[in-house]
Amino acid sequence: MLAGRRTLETDILGLYIVFIFAGERRKIAKQLKVDLGHVLNIECKQNAAGFLMLNEHLLTFAKWLDTHQWSTDIHESIYMYSWIEATHVLTLMVFLGMLCVIDLRMLGVIFSNVPASKIAERLDKPMMIGFVVMLLTGFLLFYAIPVRSTQSIWFRIKVVLLILAGINAFIFRAKMQASSATWDLDPTPPKRVRMGAAASLLLWSGVVITGRTIAYDWFDCHKQLPEFMYWAAGCVNELAALET
């Protein structure tokens, strides 16, 4: 009976210790949660401050470009801006036309009886010429209206999509050249090639759509917008006004 009593006391003591440790663990977990939330809050504020500083640098650069006489001349020219814009659109069509044919072949949708390498080889030169001219005229369009373009949410999305499309094209081209000998004559290329082609079409579609919407002032800085939109579009002055 004495042994049984000692066993019961040992069990009670063990449960008491477990409850104490469980309570301490809950306190520690709660404290860690508070500390983690505090750290994340600080990190978010630092990231926001860094992005705001980047917006200020971009706006300063855009204003510097806007002081150039050539920028004003292109913008206010009766014919020059229209010619540059027309050339930009036409070379965009040349570039995207060649790119779509190549990507659709890589998806196995068209010209499945023609070797993929032959299509890429034939269309590569006109595609790259169109791309270079498109890029140069695009820069001139930005140079003509630098401040509004810099503070356009559509222009910013377009630049991000352009970078992603460039990275995808570089990876896609390298993989295609490295392995084309194994599937060049196949009607349907491997999955990784098809995925790269699909990503290319989606990204460049996004570039075209956002490029077209730059002309509209739906989310320009002079509009009444949520604070996040001011932040994303780089509306530095409007954000400063909200903080005062």
Contact between 233 and 156 under an 8 Å Cβ cutoff? The reply is: yes
| 173: confidence class by pLDDT, cuts 50, 70, 90 | confident
Total number of domains in the chain: 2
**Same domain as 105, residue 60:** no
Could you tell me if 60 and 80 lie in one domain?
Answer: no
Q: Do 40 and 87 reside in the same domain of the chain?
A: no
Nearest partner of 72 among 20, 126, 134, 147, judged by Cα = 147
pLDDT number for residue 30: 58
- Selected residue with higher pLDDT from 178 and 25: 178
pTM exceeds 0.95, yes or no:
no
Question: Is residue 90 over pLDDT 50?
Answer: yes
Mean pLDDT throughout 166-195?
82
Asked which of 16, 40, 67 is the last residue of a domain, the reply is 67
Instruction: Please tell me which residue, 40 or 12, carries the higher pLDDT value.
Output: 12
pLDDT at 86 over 90: yes
For the segment 15-27, what is each residue's pLDDT rounded down to a tens digit?
555 555 555 556 5
Residue 37 sits in the same domain as residue 80 = no
Q: What percent of the chain has pLDDT over 70?
A: 77
Structure tokens at 132: 């270079």
CA 182 to chain centroid, in Å, comes to 33
Across the chain, which distance is largest between two alpha carbons, in Å? Answer: 108
Tell me if 91 sits within 8 A of 141, measured CB to CB: no
How much is the average pLDDT of 99-117? 89
The whole-angstrom separation of Cα 159 and Cα 166 is 10
The Cα–Cα gap between 122 and 96 comes to: 15
Structural domain containing residue 23: 1-67
Question: Looking at residues 224-244, what average pLDDT do you find?
Answer: 86
Same domain for 208 and 90, yes or no, is yes
Q: How many Å apart are CA 235 and CA 59, to the nearest integer?
A: 9
Check: CB of residue 208 under 8 Å from CB of residue 95: no
Q: Read out DSSP for 44-62?
A: HHHHHHHHHHHHHHHHHHH
Asked if 156 and 117 sit in the same domain, the reply is yes
* Range with the poorest average pLDDT among 50-54, 155-159, 163-167: 50-54
Same-domain pairing of 43 and 163: no
> Looking at the structure, do residues 106 and 184 belong to the same domain, yes or no?
yes
In this structure, the answer to whether residues 40 and 151 fall within a common structural domain is no
Q: Which of 67, 98, 114 is the last residue of a domain?
A: 67
Q: In whole angstroms, what is the distance from residue 202 CA to residue 153 CA?
A: 19
Residue with tokens 């210790």: 17
Do 35 and 143 fall within a single domain?
no
Last residue of a domain, one of 67, 90, 115: 67
Q: Are residues 132 and 15 in the same domain?
A: no
Which tens digits make up the pLDDT trace of 37-46? 544 444 444 5
Query: Within this chain, do residues 138 and 181 fall inside the same structural domain, yes or no?
Result: yes
